[in-house]
Structure 1
Amino acid sequence: MIIYPPLMDWNWMKQRPQQLMSRLAKQGHVVYYCNRTQTDRAPEEIEPNLTLVHHHQNWLRSDWPKLRKRYDSVGVWCNNPMLANTLSSYQADWIVYDCADDFGEWIRHEKEMVAIADAIVCSSQRLFLRLQKTFPHKRLVLIRNGYDPEMNLHKTEKREIPVDLMDEQNNKLIGYVGAWAPWIDEALVRKISCIDPAWKVVVIGAEFQKKFHHNGLPHVRYLGLKPHQLLPSYIQAFSVCVIPFRLNPITLATNPVKAYEYLAAGKPVIATDLPECRLMRPHVDIAPTHDQFIEKIKKRIFDPGDPCARIEYALQNTWETRSLQAEALLSELI
């Protein structure tokens, strides 16, 4: 049995925790995924072997003592080291610390988390090397992010253009899907939006610690957060997909899920000089400077390149592949 303690809600953009827990449930593990948001609802089995806990504290008091007696092996898969001092509540037989972000406030709690963890998983080479150097005697596995084939981005059937892009049908669309966050290079986005009046920038994603200011970016269409199942129609409508990140400790350590999704749709992808995106060359174009970023967009608008090779790369790097790596680790721990 696996418990994922409260960090993010299940419906939050189908990111790494949801993808791994869903696939481990498909492989036969009983998984209890605990939402961060607390609502007065009974635990809900949303997939075979996968139960969503809507009110963690109530579940911990009422249901968990009985469940603990039922299972011989109970483990915790935890992304947030700040939860380390709460994990004893589960009386777990093993703990995996899944390090997928380099947030400064999390690193301060990492030593405590690693002390109780039986293994560490991380999502990028930079995280792997940092953790290997800091905790050389700990079991450490590199499991990157991946593409979810259930999105069907790799299938070539034509999708309907989303209603809020109908008036852009005659324009070339340069798309970004992801959080509008402090690590977005807003100056670069502004330059991209001014390349050509007929080329529009479309941004899809939630505001995260940063507001989108329309006055500062008048040529950018900000559509906000869209349901995960609608993203394929938007991505298919893009001519070029971009990852316009500033370089900082968070972005240097990230393995962007969006890169796999863009590639699965066969789209040209241009990214700033992120280490994990460098490893995706030649399928991803790397642009260390603003001027190079603009030039690569101009090139890919008219010369998109080989979509089949990009799709094949995405299909070689799916969440199913990543979950098999996780399963191999769990077979050592259980």
Structure 2
Amino acid sequence: MSEKIEAYIVIAQQEWALNLGSNARNLAVEFSKTKPVLYVNPAIDLKSILTQTKTSHGKKRLALALGFGENTVKVADNLWVHTPSTISYSISWLKNISLYDTFNERNGKGFFDSLKKAIKELGWQAQKTVVLNDSQMFTGLFTKKYFAPLLSFYYIRDNLIEHPYFKFHGTRVEPETIELADAVFANSAYLADYARNHNAISLDIGQGCETDIYQADFTYTEPEDLAKIPHPRIGYVGFLTAERLDIKLLEEVAETNPDWQMVLIGPEEIVFEQSRLHHIKNVHFLGSKKPNQLPAYMQYLDVCMNPQLVNPLTIGNYPRKIDEYLAMGKPTVATDTPAMKMFLPHVELAIGTEGYKQAIKKALLPQSQEARKAAIDCAKGHTWEACVKQIYAVQDQLLNSEKI
């Protein structure tokens, strides 16, 4: 039934130009292998204008919002990026629901008016497009009212309504946006279950992971700053933030196992910088590394870990780093959450300090070649192509139903 579809539109949380790893960006690229795709940047808001216009990027964003410049540009074969020619009110602080809803609808109308103009210039028709909204819950509320695509999908990859910015209005608006969507896709079972409370067609499609640079059978040069650290090395690779990682757990595991070297690789936020971890002899902070350096660091760790806090913000997260660890064939220990069940039996799951200590001891035992290969195959199977195939399957069912 794909002949009914002229193009895909991905409404994103992150600007394309920032070139950050994001699910929306990856999904847009995957969609573009079959149909034209328009990736839509978020609209700039008044607060961002005040804080960003001193930079060249901010000045360019403001000019585009005011309609000066090329708002829609081709960035690859079959792929365009649109920057909305509208300015949104900054309204998250408003507690008056009626007033908030009035301004939010104005923001949504401005966004979709710009989008309609963009697709007209590209020669597309809204009623022949499929929209995938990357958790833009407030804008997404008006997708059908002001744009009316062939199909409207909502995509959830984080439990955003637990974030302070989204919590007050998001807890009432996101369920409405989910209910209005033709289908909802999530990257974890937890988030799919949440969405299913508001929309029966809610599916966990898993997560794609760019594992091409992680080659377990390639022999990398051991990084100099890692080489001087004794074994066994128990490592974490990623952003070090107290919002998502259990500092107390790390402190207790390190202090009660002085022979284990706890290696933390990645940028730190202030709570980590000021934590007692910096004063524990067997804890080593190696700082930020470039993405292409990470496989070498992982290869020379004995165990990789994800000491995640379990809280409303993290419980539904898909831990992408687990795919990276497993793709490198590394024994892996992680906090036991619903999202981790899909990685069994390739990881050791743990809760609390004692649980982590026992799991790490088990992970330090010799690993069979069969188990190592199975873990690598598991990680390599988590692709964006596999995610999009599931979206296409639901899409085709909807197009074949009487609904369309």
Higher relative contact order (CA 8 A, sep 6+): 1
In the alignment, is residue 213 of structure 1 matched against residue 263 of structure 2? no
The answer (yes or no) to whether the contact 2:323–2:379 under 8 Å persists in 1 is yes
1:155 Cα shift? 4.5
What is the CA-CA distance between 1:164 and the residue it aligns to?
4.8
Output one character per residue of 1:144-197: Cα deviation in whole Å (capped at 9) or x when no partner: 11332433x1451112334553544x4443222333331311111112333235
SS in 2 for 1:108: helix
Q: How many residues get paired? A: 327
Q: Residues 330 and 150 of structure 1: is their aligned pair in 2 closer, same or farther, counting only changes over 3 Å?
A: farther
Q: Does the 8 Å CA contact 2:240/2:267 hold for their aligned counterparts?
A: yes
| Alignment partner, residue 29 of structure 2 | 22
Instruction: Report the TM-score when normalising by structure 2.
Output: 0.70
Report the equivalent of 2:210. Answer: 148
- In the alignment, the residues of structure 2 paired with residue 13 and residue 176 of structure 1 have an alpha-carbon distance, to the nearest angstrom, of 21
Q: 1:123/1:215 Cα in 2 relative to 1: closer, same or farther (>3 Å)?
A: closer
Please give the alpha-carbon distance, in whole angstroms, between the structure 1 residues aligned to 2:43 and 2:296: 29
- Residue 263 (structure 2) aligns with: 201
**Aligned partner of 1:160: which letter?**
T
Q: Which residue among 139, 151, 158 is the counterpart of 1:83? A: 139
Partner residue in 2 for 1:279: 342
- Tell me if structure 2 keeps the 8 A contact 1:154–1:311: no
Residue 186 of structure 1 aligns to which amino acid in structure 2?
I
**Shift of residue 97, structure 1, vs aligned partner:** 0.7
2:391 to 314, 320, 326: 326
- Letter aligned with residue 24 of structure 1: F
233, 236, 241: which one aligns with 1:176: 236
**Residue deviations 1:279-332 (CA, integer Å, cap 9, x gap):** 322101111231121122133234345321110111233222112112223344
* TM-fit CA distance, 1:29: 3.9
Matched, 1:120 2:120: no
Query: What is the aligned partner in structure 2 of residue 67 from structure 1?
Result: 119
Distance 1:127 1:61, change over 3 A: closer
Structure of greater Rg: 2
Residue 187 of structure 2 is aligned to residue 135 of structure 1: no
Alpha-carbon RMSD:
3.1
Query: Identity, % of aligned pairs?
Result: 24
Q: CA deviation at 1:4?
A: 2.5
1:165 aligned residue: 226
Segments of structure 2 that go 5 or more residues without pairing to the other structure are 1-6, 45-56, 62-69, 87-110, 400-404
Q: 1:189: which partner in 2?
A: 250
Which of 154, 157, 167 is matched with 1:97 structurally?
154
The aligned amino acid for 1:56 is P
CA contact (8 A) 1:205 1:224 kept: yes
Number of the residue aligned with 1:288 = 351
Q: Aligned partners of 1:245 and 1:49: how far apart in 2? A: 39
* Contact 1:161/1:233, CA 8 A, preserved across alignment: yes
Q: Secondary structure at the match of 1:56?
A: coil
Q: Please tell me whether residue 51 in structure 1 is matched to residue 51 in structure 2.
A: no
Q: In structure 1, what residue type is equivalent to 2:191?
A: L
1:268 deviates by: 0.9
Counterpart position of 1:32: 39
Which protein is richer in helix relative to its size?
2
Q: What are the residue-to-residue correspondences of 1:218-257 with 2, within 5 Å?
A: 218=278, 219=280, 220-223=283-286, 225-257=288-320
Separation (CA, whole Å) in 1 of partners of 2:363 and 2:315: 25
Letter aligned with residue 262 of structure 2:
K
Amino acid at match of 2:26: Q
Structure 1 residues 29-68: Cα deviation after superposition (integer angstroms, max 9, x where no partner): 4232426786527555443223344x43369777851423
